[in-house]
Amino acid sequence: MSQQFAVFGTPISHSLSPQIHAAFAGQAGIDLHYVAIEAGPADFAATLQAFADAGGVGANVTLPLKQLAAELASSLDDRAKCMGVANTLVRKAGGWHADNTDGIGLVRDLTDRHRLDLRGRRTLLIGAGGGARGIAPALLDAGIGALFIVNRTPEHADTLADLLGQPGRVHSRYLGDVEALGEFELIINATSANRGGTLAPLPRSLVGRRSVAVDLSYGEAAIPFMAWARATGCHDAIDGLGMLVEQAAESFKLWHGVRPDTNAVFAALSGHAAALVTAD
């Protein structure tokens, strides 16, 4: 019988995770069944329990459930514990064990696939929710320079900055004050606001000669930020597809003990996306 895995979130029908994990399983010769399950904060606990009762042994978690996933877990890896968010769950004898592979997935995509040197880069992180919390520690570990966190709700930015515990290096600001911050070499959009097709106005003054813009989203959700990045002259504009594949590979490794080849899967997904854009 196939092992049961799933990704939980809302909305979730667009998720490429089932396709990615099917490809990984084919590489490794592993028989698994991976599906997307719609769940919101109100019903996630019950839905996750039903999944476990039906034989579920591993899960990925996306918006808006990453903090709740950490709260529901019986044990947490350090990566999930320090920020209070999880994107990967592993079924253990005592319940769910939570981890977070978002940060390592993003850094691996930027440094290995896109050949970016992150060391010393003055970085702007837009957003302070579950996505931002998942990647911020890994960015600091990768050697970025000063990190400025901006958010519409300044208290959320303050909370994330406090959690990171590096006051001389990490700074929180209100999103409305972003124009006064000057140029950044790395600009990361970790908000979900652009899923509705709207993006808070961002000034051109953020962009310098070597600025790289990164959106944690992919597909249609990333279009507004990618359009802004290209229009303002960013040196590179990178969406979240590569991060998605890399974090999935880290989850796969946690579940099965083997890390798959991500390049082949990323190339296939990129070709599919390009074909859709050409068709439009």
For residues 202 and 124, membership in a common domain is answered with yes
Q: Is 253 a catalytic residue?
A: no
Among 77, 100, 123, identify where a domain stops. 100
pLDDT in tens, 116-152: 999 999 999 999 999 999 999 999 999 999 999 999 8
> Is this prediction's pTM over 0.85?
yes
Domain for residue 274, yes or no? no
Q: With CA atoms as reference, report the closest residue to 152 among 95, 191, 119, 179.
A: 191
For residues 228 and 112, membership in a common domain is answered with yes
Number of domains in the chain: 2
pLDDT in tens, 223-277: 999 999 999 999 999 999 999 999 999 999 999 999 999 999 999 999 765 443 3
Phi and psi for 225 in degrees, rounded to 5? -70, -40
Domain for residue 89, yes or no? yes
For residues 175 and 217, membership in a common domain is answered with yes
Name the residue range of residue 18's domain: 3-100
Alpha-helix runs per DSSP H in the chain: 17-28, 44-53, 66-72, 78-83, 102-108, 130-141, 154-164, 223-231, 241-256, 262-279
State the average pLDDT over residues 213-223. Answer: 94
For residues 65 and 108, membership in a common domain is answered with no
CATH number of the domain that 126 lies in?
A: 3.40.50.720
